[in-house]
Amino acid sequence: MNKPRVLVKSCNEVPKVALNLLKSKYNVTAIESHCHARKEILEVIPEHDALFLPLPHTKVDKEFLNTAGPNLKVIATLSVGYDHLDLAEIKKRGIKVGYSPCASSVAVAEIAIALILSAARRAHEGRLKLESGDVRRTFQWMVGYDLRGSTVGIVGFGNIGKAIFKRLQGFEVGQFLYTGHSRKEDGDDLGAKFVSLDELLEKSDFIVVATPLNSETFEMFCYESFAKMKKNAVFVNVGRGKVVKTNDLVKALKNNTIFAAGLDVTDPEPLPIDHELLKLTNAVILPHLGSATVKTREDMAMIAAQNIINGLEGKPLPYPL
């Protein structure tokens, strides 16, 4: 009996431990593909039983699935976000699909903390002043804002939101607020207060976004949202770039409607090198490094590999969508 065939996109991006596990069980077609080289994948996907996607650059839509044909039984993405997958179309065809929701929570939370501190304490602006020789020793030069005694609002109190909350415990934060679809029992247990989005925006000194991208969250942060925030507010996004209207954020930062922003995700992504956001001294921007640690990427890959194994063996996926 022939072994099932698994297509692994961008195999050099996949940690060896996960790739070797798949190779020990299946016939693996490992291809190198540029991030957006969809044509390359469509040429080889037919007759494969499973698809392993390291990063969410490949849109799996009706055209993709039509090309893949009836053999495709399982799709596994290493990402937490899944807006690149047409779930309705995938499920209509009876294809199992899994993602990696928990493995990256700690690493993304750590990036959120780094951005909070860097934006509040003007790290990027300070570096620019150092490079230009504009260092002063006056008492009020380059003062920023404390986490101590502040109000932190978390938008999206899922695995990442809770991990951020836990890592902020040692900073003597005055109050934690969170918002989302509904009040969460474990949020109450942790000591965070559930509020409306408007109340969170109005009361928070730090607004941290850890929400996925969907029809409800798309461009939910516009200039009207920023105008509701405090003048000293620090806005941090580790969710998805498209939850923010980028031009409106640029305007809010330029006008000092808010104090600063820290972004690991942007729209567009990556930002063009001449983009307005990159010219702002009060914006700390990373090129989507949230889950980019050795351990986290290995954990994500192993979860995706196990999703494929369970799917092909007719068992429940560890992390289904």
Q: How confident is the model at residue 18 (pLDDT cuts 50, 70, 90)?
A: very high
Average confidence (pLDDT) over 129-148:
96
Domain residue extents for the chain: 5-103+294-312, 105-285
Q: Give pLDDT, residue 33.
A: 59
Q: What is the pLDDT of residues 76-107, one digit of tens each?
A: 998 877 888 999 999 999 999 999 888 899 99
CATH of 105-285, one of 3.40.50.720, 3.40.50.300, 3.30.565.10, 2.40.30.30: 3.40.50.720
Continuous segment of H or E residues that includes residue 28: strand 27-31
For the four alpha carbons of 217, 63, 5 and 93, in that order, the dihedral sign comes to positive
Degrees, nearest 5: CA angle 130-134-136: 100
Instruction: Output the pLDDT for position 11.
Output: 65
Residues 163-175: pLDDT tens digits? 999 999 999 999 9
30-83 per-position pLDDT tens digit = 887 555 577 888 888 998 999 998 766 788 999 999 999 999 999 999 887 788
Same fold, 5-103+294-312 and 105-285: yes
Share of residues in the chain with pLDDT > 90 (%): 82
**Other CB atoms within 10 Å distance of the CB of residue 269:** 14
Instruction: Give the chain's mean pLDDT.
Output: 93
Average pLDDT (214-230) is 96
Predicted confidence (pLDDT) per residue in 116-132, tens digit? 999 999 999 999 999 99
| pLDDT the model gives residue 13 | 79
- CA dist 44 and 67 (Å) reads 9
Q: Which residue among 124, 181, 275, 288 is the active-site one?
A: 288
36 is catalytic: no
pTM exceeding the 0.95 threshold for the entire prediction? no
**147 exposure class (CB count in 10 Å sphere: 0-12, 13-18, 19+):** buried
pLDDT at 173: 98
Higher-scoring residue by pLDDT: 10, 253: 253
Four-way CATH pick for 5-103+294-312: 3.40.50.720, 1.10.3720.10, 3.10.310.30, 3.40.640.10: 3.40.50.720
260-317: per-residue pLDDT in tens?
999 999 999 999 999 999 999 999 999 999 999 999 999 999 999 999 999 999 999 9
